[in-house]
């Protein structure tokens, strides 16, 4: 096969259907066989999708702000270095972006995923995955997503003997990489088959209503699970916390601690009391954890993240006059008993041409602050996964 310049790569944009147990979710399914990720999207996910699309097509014009462009440029730079390290230059035999990889497993469910970059040269492959967020990534040799993609590439390309997998994580200023050999294929196949096979047995129990506390394993990743609100194991943990604070609540029935049509009034009252107690306790723990982090305590899996400062309006009249200067009328602003800065900036954002939105809103807020129309509240913080 002729050499293919890395800068003239083949792009394979397929419809990105999600596998029931795809490589990106194996980490969570390995911890708990009942895990199923939440559906839907959020601004961070949409941002990541834009960056991935721009990297696939090598079009920085697809991005919307400086931060996205910085992440894009970091990924391109680190990818160049990986190619230089693995292939001693930019030339390779094949290079496919957004490559769908299917796994041959001892399981009934088809398992597949989409790798950001798959390149080969001779008997060597390089797989690259871009991570655009802040989350801590498991080391490659212990990472289920990496192992799944490596297995799939080895299975598809029988001539390969070496495979390097790399995560590029610009927000953490990290490039994590590890190497695999073809002789590891039987072990990788057995490990991943076992995870998927157990999940095939456990996940249907949610719909069947037969899930048991012994079927699931709580962890910090439960917050990403679609079944978090009705998990019997999390219910047991919640009840345990409440009972330590109020022993009289320990007499609640075991199992799924949900209010249903069959739940009696006494149990409803007790469950409500548990919820209120644990809610207060959770708020206290979150507050104290943030305070300790602000004071300098290093947490192994979480880091301090600023939520910014609340901007309070000091004069609605002056705010409206300033808004008029930016061609935003009172009718453009959502009607309410009080006008918030968010109301005005939302209207301004809507009326401003796409390429000027961010700069115009930023200029408006800066001018409002300079004129003392708004004032900043106290800084707010939370903890987010590393």
Average pLDDT over residues 210-217: 88
Same domain, yes or no: 312 and 289:
no
- Look at 383 and 169; give whichever has higher pLDDT: 169
Of 21-25, 177-181, 211-215, 377-381, give the range with the top mean pLDDT.
177-181
Same domain, yes or no: 14 and 121:
yes
Measured from the Cβ of residue 240, the count of other Cβ atoms closer than 10 Å reads: 11
Question: Residue 89's domain is classified under what CATH number?
Answer: 3.90.320
Same domain, yes or no: 44 and 166:
yes
Q: Is residue 345 in a domain?
A: yes
Please identify, among 250, 266, 294, the residue that sits at the C-terminal boundary of a domain.
294
Same domain, yes or no: 238 and 377:
no
Helix, strand, coil proportions of the chain in percent (round to 5)?
A: 50, 20, 30
Residue 278: give the domain boundaries: 231-294
DSSP state of 253: P
Same domain, yes or no: 268 and 172:
no
Q: Is residue 209 in a domain?
A: no
Q: Is residue 365 in a domain?
A: yes
Q: Is residue 210 in a domain?
A: no
pLDDT 10s digits, 267-291: 777 778 777 777 887 888 888 988 8
- Look at 204 and 252; give whichever has higher pLDDT: 204
Same domain, yes or no: 352 and 272:
no
Same domain, yes or no: 316 and 377:
yes
Q: Is residue 94 in a domain?
A: yes
Determine contact, residues 104/193, Cβ cutoff 8 Å.
Answer: no
Of 6-15, 65-74, 246-255, 342-351, give the range with the top mean pLDDT.
65-74
Same domain, yes or no: 287 and 321:
no
Average pLDDT over residues 172-181: 96
Q: Is residue 216 in a domain?
A: no
3-state secondary structure of 127: strand
Same domain, yes or no: 258 and 365:
no
- Report the number of distinct structural domains present in the chain: 3
Determine contact, residues 167/131, Cβ cutoff 8 Å.
Answer: yes
Beta bridge partners of 99: 115
pLDDT 10s digits, 111-159: 999 999 999 999 999 999 999 988 889 999 999 999 999 999 999 999 9
- Look at 11 and 358; give whichever has higher pLDDT: 358
Same domain, yes or no: 110 and 157:
yes
Please identify, among 165, 186, 202, the residue that sits at the C-terminal boundary of a domain.
202
Q: Measuring CA to CA, which residue among 343, 340, 349, 347 is closest to residue 314? A: 340
Please identify, among 185, 202, 219, the residue that sits at the C-terminal boundary of a domain.
202
- pLDDT on residue 43: 83
Same domain, yes or no: 46 and 172:
yes
- Taking CA 130 as the corner, what is the angle to CA 127 and CA 131, rounded to the nearest 5 degrees? 135
Distance CA 300, CA 171 (A): 17
Using CB atoms within 10 A of its CB, is residue 148 exposed (0-12), middle (13-18) or buried (19+)? buried
Q: What is the pTM of this model?
A: 0.70
- Number of helices (H) and strands (E), helices first, in the chain? 11, 10
pLDDT 10s digits, 333-366: 655 546 678 878 888 888 888 888 888 888 888 8
Same domain, yes or no: 179 and 150:
yes
Q: Is residue 330 in a domain?
A: yes
- pLDDT on residue 351: 86
Distance CA 159, CA 301 (A): 40
Q: Is residue 47 in a domain?
A: yes
């Amino acid at each position: 096969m002729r050499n293919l310049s890395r800068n003239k790569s083949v792009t394979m944009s397929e419809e990105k259907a999600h596998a029931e147990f795809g490589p990106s979710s194996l980490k969570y399914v390995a911890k708990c066989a009942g895990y199923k990720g939440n559906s839907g999207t959020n601004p961070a996910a949409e941002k990541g999708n834009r960056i991935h699309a721009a990297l696939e097509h090598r079009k920085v014009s697809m991005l919307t702000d400086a931060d996205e462009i910085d992440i894009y440029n970091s990924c391109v730079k680190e990818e160049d270095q990986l190619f230089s390290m693995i292939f001693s230059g930019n030339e390779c035999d094949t290079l496919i972006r957004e490559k769908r990889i299917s796994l041959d497993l001892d399981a009934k469910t088809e398992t597949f995923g989409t790798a950001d970059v798959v390149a080969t040269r001779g008997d060597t492959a390089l797989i690259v995955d871009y991570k655009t967020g802040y989350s801590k990534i498991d080391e490659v040799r212990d990472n289920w997503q990496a192992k799944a993609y490596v297995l799939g590439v080895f299975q598809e390309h029988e001539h390969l003997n070496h495979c390097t997998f790399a995560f590029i994580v610009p927000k953490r200023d990290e490039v994590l990489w590890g190497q695999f050999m073809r002789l590891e294929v039987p072990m990788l196949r057995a490990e991943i088959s076992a995870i998927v096979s157990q999940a095939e047995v456990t996940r249907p129990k949610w719909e069947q209503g037969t899930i048991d506390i012994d079927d699931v394993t709580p962890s910090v990743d439960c917050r990403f699970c679609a079944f978090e609100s009705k998990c019997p194991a999390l219910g047991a943990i919640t009840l345990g916390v409440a009972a330590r604070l109020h022993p009289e609540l320990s007499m609640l029935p075991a199992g799924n601690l949900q209010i249903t049509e069959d739940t009696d009034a006494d149990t409803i009252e007790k469950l409500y009391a548990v919820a209120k107690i644990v809610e207060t306790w959770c708020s206290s723990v979150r507050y104290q954890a943030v305070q300790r982090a602000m004071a300098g305590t290093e947490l192994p899996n979480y880091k301090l993240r600023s939520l910014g400062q609340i901007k309070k309006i000091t004069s609605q009249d002056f705010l409206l006059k300033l808004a008029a200067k930016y061609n935003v009328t009172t009718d453009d602003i959502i009607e309410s008993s009080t006008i918030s800065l968010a109301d005005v900036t939302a209207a301004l954002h809507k009326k401003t041409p796409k390429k000027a939105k961010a700069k115009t809103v930023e200029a408006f807020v800066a001018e409002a602050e300079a004129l003392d129309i708004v004032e900043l509240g106290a800084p707010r913080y939370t903890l987010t996964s590393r």
